[in-house]
Structure 1
Amino acid sequence: MTGHPVYTVGERLLTIDNVCVRHDRTILEGVSGRIDNLRRERLQQGQVVGLLGPSGIGKSQLFRCIAGLQKPTSGSVRLNGSQREVQAGEVGVVAQNYPLFNHRSVWGNLMLAATRHGRNQHDAADACVALLEKFGLLDHAKCHPMMLSGGQRQRVAIAQQLLCSSHFLLMDEPFSGLDPLAKSAVCETLVDVSTTHELNTIIVVTHDIESAIRISDTLWLLGRNRDASGQPSGGASIQQTYDLAGMGLAWDPDIESRAEFRELAAALKARFATL
């Protein structure tokens, strides 16, 4: 690949401002981050942010705060540059088991989502058909979820959440337990989703460093806060942001063949030991 892809930074899409979560202990302390619209000429680029961190560090708590499912103890999560905090339902959430209504067909699941925000039946049907075509699922519209493969269920769950949210999608460990071919298929799906609309923004919570690098334009590394002597000082926050687009490591379908990919993956694995 020659040169870095040319892009410009547009409007603010999401702001995490000094989020703290405390229960019987401090889990998150001072989490701040931002996602801006990355624009590429003649392309609908979308944004993909990988949220990486060791088990038990607080990724699930941050996930819930971003989704509007949990109010932080202090701080805020805001969408689209507004001063209003995110509300439940504004961010689509795709859990590991791809929950769908098993008693409804694929079409029934999607229509239920598509009519949640005031679409009439005609507009809802058009939106469902467009996503079914995009994800290669139009022939499965009459099937029930139990008749689908894992990959098909995941695509239906993603389509469902896109229909009832506002361009934001949270993915919880989408690569967990998958073989290399299945991981590649999921990576391709997420890249496809991000490029269906300029404002589509996906945050992927994962332990899978290589897959995160492969699909993301930005990585957030969540780790424990530490004092001057290096001892944990309570709670976790985003310790480092990796601007993969600025590093020339975004939007490259052959990224895994590059030495820079292997070097970054090795560096991130080494960082995990310090988090």
Structure 2
Amino acid sequence: MSTVHEFKNTILKVENVSLNLGGNQILRDVNVDIRDIVRPGMSQGQIVGFLGPSGIGKTKFFEILAGLIKPDSGQVLLGDPLTPVQVGRVGVVQQSYPLFGHRTVLGNLMVAAARKGIPAAERKAKCEEMLAHFGLEGHAHRFPAELSGGQKQRVAIAQQLLCSDHFLLLDEPFSGLDIIMIEKVCELLRSIAALHEHNTIIVVSHDIESSASIADTLWVMGRDRDDQGNIIPGSRIKHTYNLIERGLAWQENVMSRRDFHDLVDEVRGLFKTL
């Protein structure tokens, strides 16, 4: 598979983001960005694996990226051209896949399409197109309680794609899944990224291996230490891995490669220092 690519404009930029809650420094001077990736003859979105130990501040950074809370300083910019994040521009898929229980699958998507401002005459066709892409045509008139966990996840992702601007945050999408289901979710996320070159998926996860297998970039969040080894309050993105440069992005059967497992071991080893 060809990995010829070119980095274009920055489409997400985090500048000097800090957050203090109740006198505790949660985030400190977080700086990171994502650039549009262009590959000849194909549409290629971006997938970022966002990793870090529990309690390190990933959830609060997740909320800042989505525009759900504002940092004490700094800003999040996204789009092309870059503009400050606003609530609704970033789709958020929580672990619980919150859907409107009293609405059908199609009804849930219609609400998202209306919220996005898609003209009424075009909404149903757009939602049916999304159902077809996610293999949910036969479930359009079912209610969330009648769906499996995997089906609910697909509906939740489709819903958020309809009402956001190409940016999608997923919270622990591999949690509690068996190996077969994890492979299906990975394939789903790859297909979503390939729908549009600006599609940008940030996967917050403790599953290093699954995240690395689909990502082109890994972010690892942690805290610095002073000369005496004491933790300096406030987390930041301490390590960024470019998996394209390592030859590990967009590869079939990447999990079978020795250099992939070396990467996973390297990242896992970092957790002891974060």
Q: Same fold (TM over 0.5)?
A: yes
Q: 1:218, CA displacement in angstroms?
A: 0.2
Q: 1:192-225: per-residue Cα shift (whole Å, max 9, x none)?
A: 1111111110000001000011110000000012
Take 2:189 and 2:116, find their aligned partners in 1: how far apart are those partners? 24
Q: 1:82, CA displacement in angstroms?
A: 4.6
Matches within 5 A, 1:241-256: 241-256=240-255
**Which one-letter code corresponds to 1:174 in the other structure?**
P
- Name segments (4+ residues, structure 1) moved above 3 Å: 81-84
Please name the residue that 2:13 is paired with.
Answer: 15
Q: 1:90-136: per-residue Cα shift (whole Å, max 9, x none)?
A: 00000001000010000000011011122112322222111111111
User: Is residue 168–residue 201 contact of structure 1 (8 Å, CA) maintained in 2?
Assistant: yes
Please name the residue that 1:6 is paired with.
Answer: 4
Take 1:267 and 1:142, find their aligned partners in 2: how far apart are those partners? 47
Q: 1:41, CA displacement in angstroms?
A: 0.7
- TM-score scaled by structure 2? 0.97
Please name the residue that 1:158 is paired with.
Answer: 157
User: Is residue 45–residue 200 contact of structure 2 (8 Å, CA) maintained in 1?
Assistant: yes
**RMSD (CA atoms):** 1.2
Q: 1:83, CA displacement in angstroms?
A: 5.6
Please name the residue that 2:115 is paired with.
Answer: 116
Please name the residue that 1:185 is paired with.
Answer: 184
**Which one-letter code corresponds to 1:14 in the other structure?**
L
Q: Percent identity?
A: 50
Unaligned runs of 5+ in 1: none
Please name the residue that 1:149 is paired with.
Answer: 148
Q: 1:81, CA displacement in angstroms?
A: 5.1
User: Is residue 15–residue 81 contact of structure 1 (8 Å, CA) maintained in 2?
Assistant: no
Take 2:40 and 2:228, find their aligned partners in 1: how far apart are those partners? 47
Matches within 5 A, 1:187-202: 187-202=186-201
Using the TM superposition, name which of 238-247 and 81-90 deviates more. 81-90
Please name the residue that 1:231 is paired with.
Answer: 230
Matched, 1:35 2:48: no
| Secondary structure of the structure 1 residue equivalent to 2:102 | coil
- TM-score scaled by structure 1? 0.96
Please name the residue that 2:137 is paired with.
Answer: 138
| Secondary structure of the structure 2 residue equivalent to 1:273 | helix
User: Is residue 51–residue 205 contact of structure 1 (8 Å, CA) maintained in 2?
Assistant: yes
User: Is residue 11–residue 82 contact of structure 2 (8 Å, CA) maintained in 1?
Assistant: no
Take 1:97 and 1:111, find their aligned partners in 2: how far apart are those partners? 20
Take 1:203 and 1:83, find their aligned partners in 2: how far apart are those partners? 18
User: Is residue 173–residue 205 contact of structure 1 (8 Å, CA) maintained in 2?
Assistant: yes
Q: 1:182, CA displacement in angstroms?
A: 1.3
**Which one-letter code corresponds to 2:43 in the other structure?**
Q
Take 1:99 and 1:49, find their aligned partners in 2: how far apart are those partners? 23
**Which one-letter code corresponds to 2:227 in the other structure?**
A
Take 1:129 and 1:253, find their aligned partners in 2: how far apart are those partners? 30
**Which one-letter code corresponds to 2:188 in the other structure?**
T
Using the TM superposition, name which of 104-113 and 225-234 deviates more. 225-234
Q: 1:242, CA displacement in angstroms?
A: 0.1
Please name the residue that 2:173 is paired with.
Answer: 174
Unaligned runs of 5+ in 2: none
Please name the residue that 2:214 is paired with.
Answer: 215
Take 1:273 and 1:176, find their aligned partners in 2: how far apart are those partners? 22
Take 1:104 and 1:83, find their aligned partners in 2: how far apart are those partners? 35
Q: 1:80, CA displacement in angstroms?
A: 1.9
| Secondary structure of the structure 2 residue equivalent to 1:115 | helix
Using the TM superposition, name which of 72-81 and 161-170 deviates more. 72-81
